[in-house]
Amino acid sequence: MNTSFLLFALLNPLFALLAAPLYMALIRKVKAYAQWRKGPRLFQVYYDLKKLMQKEAVYSPTSSWVMRFTPYLNLSTLLVCSLFVPLIFVPEPAGGLGNIIVFLYLLALERFFTALGGLDAGSAFGGMGSSRSMSLAAVIEPTMVVSFAALAFVLKSLNLHRMFALTAGTVLPISPTLVLVSISLFIILIVETGRLPVDNPATHLELTMINEAMILEQTGKNLALLELAHALKQFLLMGILINTILPVGLSTEIDAGKIAVSALLFLLKAGLLAVIIGLFESSVAKMRLFRLPAFYVMAFFFSALTILIEVFA
């Protein structure tokens, strides 16, 4: 393993872990302003995580090791995923890390254990959320595979590091078809992070809950770890979208100054994307469950169209 990747393996997960909760808070803030409310402070989410980490976890008497293990596995999986998505600089490829297929399997592992943790508590809400999540996963997972395949077709690689090394330094997308892929990636970001119109992260209403239902029985530091893993997942998917559609400033060299500028630019671009997500959520309503596949089909359509253009153009 080379020096470039060792530095990347140290800085990238740390950067993602520290910055991820800020964008959960920023989206909430934008939604609050859109509803003419002041909303919580930007750093409130950090205070909440700290408070939860200091609290003791309480378990359902029907639960097993799955409920105790899931928060640690989810956060560990997402930290490994952070080695696949360059955020502040692109390292030299090493050890197969960055492969899209492995990345998708890791996300599937995280989703599977979240659903299993929801079932393990033995509550009606957990079972309902897990059932809904797995039903929707049967539709969104093939869509994700096609979307990332389209990205690989356009950028001629299955490795995210090589893809973003190709796009780094450009102001605009290197191919018009990347705009189509970006639409699919935005829909995947909304679906995978349980945001409107797919799910409502701010509700505890039985009719609308999916992700919240699966973690309803989690408490204390376990809940903090799950919330942190959720924020990390959102931040990494935002990173893939940003490096696809607006890669300007992403460094490919190990230079302290360039890495600092790259990190600052990424925070600004992520802030812009968070505002867009907040405004998007504020302008749509929760869709009925059986109509959600129609939303996913949009991502599938744009990805399939991209592949057709790349093959036949």
Encode pLDDT of 179-211 as tens digits.
999 999 999 999 888 887 888 766 666 666 788
Q: Highest-confidence range of 51-60, 127-136, 231-240, 247-256, by mean pLDDT?
A: 231-240
What's the rounded mean pLDDT across residues 243-252? 88
- Give the lowest-confidence range in 92-101, 241-250, 275-284: 92-101
Residues of the chain with pLDDT > 90, as a percent, come to 56
Of 192, 183, 155, the residue nearest 303 (C-alpha): 183
Structure tokens at 121: 């508590």
pLDDT digits (tens, 9 = 90+) for 27-45: 999 999 998 998 889 899 9
Q: What is the pLDDT of residue 226?
A: 95
pLDDT grade, residue 224 (50/70/90)? very high
Question: What does the pLDDT average to over 8-20?
Answer: 95
Structure tokens at 75: 């956060």
pLDDT at 203: 67
Mean pLDDT for the stretch of residues 95-124 = 90
Residue 118 has pLDDT above 70, yes or no: yes
pLDDT of 151 reads 93
Least confident of 15-19, 91-95, 150-154: 91-95
The domain segmentation of the chain, as residue ranges, is 1-310
- The lowest-confidence range among 141-150, 216-225, 245-254, 297-306 is 245-254
Query: 284 φ, ψ to 5°?
Result: -125, 160
pLDDT in tens, 76-85: 999 999 999 9
Q: Binning pLDDT at 50, 70 and 90, where does residue 46 land?
A: very high
**Lookup result for tokens 């990390």:** 232
Question: pTM of the entire structure?
Answer: 0.94
Residue 263 or 171, more confident? 263
At residue 102, the pLDDT reads 94
Average pLDDT, the chain: 89
The percent of residues above 70 in pLDDT, for the chain, comes to: 97
* Least confident residue range of 11-25, 133-147, 256-270: 133-147
pLDDT value for 312:
83
pLDDT reading at 168 higher than 70: yes
Please tell me which residue, 284 or 164, carries the higher pLDDT value. 164
pLDDT at 189: 92
Q: 197: cis peptide before it, omega within 30°?
A: yes
Residue by residue, DSSP assigns the chain as: --HHHHHHHHHHHHHHHHHHHHHHHHHHHHHHHHTT---S-TTHHHHHHHHHHTSPP---TT--HHHHHHHHHHHHHHHHHTTTS-SSBPPPP-TTTTBHHHHHHHHHHHHHHHHHHHHHT--HHHHHHHHHHHHHHHHHHHHHHHHHHHHHHHHT-SBHHHHHHHHTT-SS-SSTHHHHHHHHHHHHHHHHTT-TTT--TT---TTT-SHHHHTTT--HHHHHHHHHHHHHHHHHHHHHHHHHH--TT-B-S--HHHHHHHHHHHHHHHHHHHHHHHHHHHH--PPPGGGHHHHHHHHHHHHHHHHHHHHH-
